[in-house]
Amino acid sequence: MCGIIGIVGLSPAAPRVIESLRRLEYRGYDSAGVAAHTSAGLERRRAKGRIRDLEAVLSVEPLQGHVGLGHTRWATHGAPNVANAHPQKAGRVMLVHNGIIENFAELKAELIAAGRSFESETDTEVVAHLIDAGLERGLEPLAAFKAALNRLSGAYALGALIEGEPELILGARRGSPLVVGYGEGEMFIGSDALAVGPFTNRVAYLDEGDYVAIDRTTARIFNADGARVERAVRTVAASAALVEKGNYRHFMEKEIHDQPEACRHTLSSYLDPINGHAAPPEGFDFTKVERLQLLACGTAYYAALIAKYLFEDLAGLPTDAEVASEFRYRNPAVTPGTLAVAVSQSGETADTLAALRWCKAKGLTTAAIVNAPESTMSREVDHVWPTHAGPEVCVLSTKAFTAQLTALICLAVAAARQRGRIDAAEETRLVQTLLEAPRLIAQAIADTEDALRPLAFDISKARDVLYLGRGAMFGLALEGALKLKEGSYIHAEGYAAGEMKHGPIALIDESTPVIIVAPSDNAFDKTRSNMSEVIARNGAVVLITDEAGLAHAPSQARSVVAPTCDPLIAPLVFAVPLQLLAYQVGVAKGADVDQPRNLAKSVTVE
């Protein structure tokens, strides 16, 4: 979602802010802005739309000064327009904000009653006024900032510039992350390590409730009680180089091709190839777990849904997978032996985090399968189970999804062995099978990428598309449909193949492509019957299968053949053609596949 960069630097700030905001584009946004201390005082430039629109404004009205603040905004309160873009201004204060201030309406009424007037519909402007009101009462900037923070409920990461304080940036975090970057004679704040990545890889992550004042050489950090604290400065790997597109046309294409590597790196944390064992890093005892509660949103939820089948089938471990936003607000009946596991690429998704905190408050053991090692979830759970997909820039999740699946499959094998459902020989066989996954993912890319193109061209003309699958392929059908919706804006639905006759079959006609994901597993014959039902109604069937499945494919189906693989890793291998199809349809339609409209990468509002 929104992104923040603040620079107390040695060279002009505006171009550096732009460079950083470009790195944050992947988070999703609909307006952008920059403010800086100039010789004429505190000034700002803002634009609706893309960073290039902000650059166009800056080319007409340049912004001088070495101390600046930038923001990409994903609209929550008020339309995406210039007036609502950040930085928001009130008196001596320029403010950028990620998150939502829940009590903004009461505060706004109070401020209006006190004679203040507002230019935007944002909750952020309220905070700027609160700080300015403190300054007017004679408080020092840091005290005015803290006094304003004390009045806020909701989630925020904030960055502020104050007129008359040309070497100071104030920052705060509650609910949304904020990092402090340590440069050579320069200091930064950013919404994540990538934001400050072009300038430094030495960062400190603020804790919940922390606030900070940076100048050119120091960061003074305070906790929620106002006590001065130190936060560890670490060297992070999120270097600028990691987020380049290389020779690919889009990040989505690159990240699909990154998957063999992401899978391999993730496997290395869970598998001991020499002894044929599977275990999470630092080990874990699954024999004490009575029930598994998987919590996630979107694509990560589909990874969890596929894992539910695996944990129950392989390990006999009762498992629920639930959309975090539902779980959190429905008063679920959890039992003490339940292990709550969040699945999240960013580790910041507000719904997943809220569900996790709810479980923690109920006294459950918590774990997170997470791609961002320094994220809030990583820091709050009892067990961090990492995925090593590297930074995922495209808003559409691809490599993070298969990395989540990789970790989940490894965990299911570990649980199966510990719980006595499989013997050592079977564990070794499954570990060997997993070790083949990176090669088979690469082969799936090589085998299907070109074969899918004519199909993608035809599907780009469809209005609706149906995806069907059984077992683990049901989760992939849901994921395939989500990818197509996001990447191409074509309406798509995923269904359990057996459910089609209970309703969605009404949609079948010659203009509705039906994509059936069916490797030749023990559900193949049943899915084949569902395929016949579609063909009997003149539906245009696309069968995604393997060599053995192809031998039984009806002549009316257009088939795409993925590599033959063990059912354990079929979700990893068969995810690939679905991702490629969504990508190619999106490109054929000329859609902005890396940053589709209305979407954000890290959804930090509930």
Closest distance between ligand F6R and the C-beta of residue 601, in Å? 7
Closest distance between ligand F6R and the C-beta of residue 548, in Å? 31
Closest distance between ligand F6R and the C-beta of residue 15, in Å? 30
Closer by beta carbon to ligand F6R, 365 or else 595: 595
Closer by beta carbon to ligand F6R, 69 or else 482: 482
Closer by beta carbon to ligand F6R, 349 or else 512: 349
DSSP 535-548: HHTT-EEEEEE-HH
Closer by beta carbon to ligand F6R, 166 or else 586: 586
The closest alpha carbon to 291, from 341, 330, 325, 327, belongs to 341
Which amino acid would we find at residue 405?
A: L
What amino acid positions are annotated as catalytic residues?
A: 2, 601
Q: Is 450 helix (H, G, I), strand (E, B) or coil?
A: coil
* The token pair that represents 391 in the structure block: 């930074």
**H or E element: which one contains 592?**
none
Exposed/middle/buried for residue 165 (C-beta within 10 Å: 0-12, 13-18, 19+): buried
In this structure, the chain runs to a length of 606
Contact indicator for 372, 346 with CB cutoff of 8 Å: yes
Contact indicator for 168, 216 with CB cutoff of 8 Å: no
DSSP 175: B
> Considering Cα of 303, then 309, then 315, then 321, what sign does the dihedral take?
positive
Contacts of 228 (CB under 8 A, 6+ apart): 220, 221, 222
Closer by beta carbon to ligand F6R, 38 or else 604: 604
At residue 380's C-alpha, the angle toward residues 374 and 381, to 5°, is: 105
Closest distance between ligand F6R and the C-beta of residue 466, in Å? 19
Closer by beta carbon to ligand F6R, 141 or else 487: 487
Closest distance between ligand F6R and the C-beta of residue 272, in Å? 27
CA distances from 304 to 301, 402, 604 (A): 5, 11, 20
Could you tell me the end-to-end alpha-carbon distance of the chain, in angstroms, rounded to an integer?
12
Closest distance between ligand F6R and the C-beta of residue 398, in Å? 8
Q: Is 144 helix (H, G, I), strand (E, B) or coil?
A: helix
* Closest residue to ligand F6R using C-beta atoms: 298
Closest distance between ligand F6R and the C-beta of residue 378, in Å? 12
> Considering Cα of 163, then 164, then 169, then 170, what sign does the dihedral take?
negative
Closer by beta carbon to ligand F6R, 314 or else 477: 477
Contact indicator for 141, 170 with CB cutoff of 8 Å: yes
Closer by beta carbon to ligand F6R, 20 or else 349: 349
The closest alpha carbon to 468, from 308, 578, 303, belongs to 578
Contact indicator for 482, 316 with CB cutoff of 8 Å: no
CA distances from 360 to 208, 382, 384, 603 (A): 16, 9, 14, 21
Contacts of 276 (CB under 8 A, 6+ apart): 424, 427, 428, 431, 432
Binding site for ligand F6R (CB under 6 A): 297-300, 344-346, 349, 352, 396-397, 482, 486, 602-603
Closest distance between ligand F6R and the C-beta of residue 602, in Å? 6
Closer by beta carbon to ligand F6R, 28 or else 171: 28
Contacts of 186 (CB under 8 A, 6+ apart): 7, 8, 9, 10, 199, 200, 216
Closest distance between ligand F6R and the C-beta of residue 368, in Å? 10
DSSP 35: E
Closest distance between ligand F6R and the C-beta of residue 603, in Å? 5
Q: What SS3 string covers 313-367?
A: HHHCCCEEEEEHHHHHCCCCCCCCCEEEEEEECCCCCHHHHHHHHHHHHCCCEEE
Closer by beta carbon to ligand F6R, 165 or else 479: 479
